[in-house]
Amino acid sequence: MYPEYFSVRMRAAEGKAHELGGKHISGGERLCDHSQLGAIATELLAKASNHTRGSADFIQLVVEKVPSEQLQFIPPLDVSAIEVATVQEGHDKAKDQLAAAGVSERAIEHAFFILNHERNLRGAAIVNCETGERLDDREQKGVRVSRMDWNDGGQVEDSVRVREALALATKVAHSPYTVAELCWSDDPDYVTGYVSSQQLGYVRISPLKKMGCESGGRVFFVHNDVDIDSYMNFLERKPVFIQGGDSE
């Protein structure tokens, strides 16, 4: 008998629902047992409200039981940080890290173009690490990584934002198809971003954008031989708990 787990997902938009052209405000994805459902739904509703991107008037919450015999436990990536004086320097550092991970210059430039210009991306763009071609057909919806959470007894070791980002980056890096990830927030008040991979770990870089700017998103760079359907299925559907690593 496996314990039962539930995926809880939230997406919030302003004006109208995302698919009707509304502005993306916030999203969130959690994994929990039945006893935590109410508390987690409340946390996600709070996350959707009082957001710096605007005032949500469409909020969707979806709860689904997950096949927990598929549940996997993986340790978090190692965390490091680079502080720089300007956004330009931050971009240069991020590009160096991505190149070291095996991402081509073309692919790096395409990713920076996407994150610099996109103000309403609610998931990730998947980009071929050699050709730079975008491989998902999701446009502004992108690919939303879901069904992951921490299994550390609620131990708060950092801000909720950093915990969420580290959990997501750890799940993404775990796929053998992933070469690296680039991320910065679409929230206008948050300028730290990161580059991550299994080899690099989770490298926080600050700043990666200007205060007040609403552009941002995520790019997952993948190997040329990616099986895109199985990759997207892993990201969206495979239940993963982040567990272990350095505990202080």
Residues that bind ligand WAQ (CB under 6 A): 27, 29, 121-124, 142, 144-145, 161-162, 165, 168, 183, 185-187, 190, 192-194, 204, 216-218
Handedness of CA 144, 145, 149, 150 (dihedral sign): negative
Binds Mg ion by CB under 5 A, chosen from 43, 157, 187, 236 = 187
Of 78 and 105, CB closest to ligand WAQ: 78
Of 1 and 107, CB closest to ligand WAQ: 107
Question: Looking up tokens 């039981």, which residue turns up?
Answer: 65
> Could you tell me the smallest distance in angstroms from the CB atom of residue 1 to ligand WAQ?
30
Taking the C-alpha atoms of residue 211 and residue 204, their distance in angstroms, rounded to an integer, is 17
* CB 173, CB 56: distance < 8 Å: no
What is the DSSP annotation of 5-57?
EEEEEEEEEESS-GGGTPEEEEEEEEEEEGGGHHHHHHHHHHHHSSBTTB--S
**Count of residues binding Mg ion (CB under 5 A)?**
2
> Could you tell me the smallest distance in angstroms from the CB atom of residue 226 to Mg ion?
24
122 binds, among ligand WAQ, Mg ion, none (CB under 5 to 8 A by kind): ligand WAQ
186 binds Mg ion (CB under 5 A): yes
Of 69 and 229, CB closest to ligand WAQ: 229
- Report residue 157 as tokens: 């070791």
- Give, as one character, the DSSP assignment of residue 143: B
142 binds, among Mg ion, ligand WAQ, none (CB under 5 to 8 A by kind): ligand WAQ
Dihedral of CA atoms 183, 188, 191, 192 in degrees, nearest 10, equals -50
Interface region with Mg ion, contact rule CB under 5 A, candidates 4-12, 178-186, 199-207, 222-230: 178-186
Residue 218 identity: R
Contacting positions for Mg ion (CB under 5 A)? 186-187
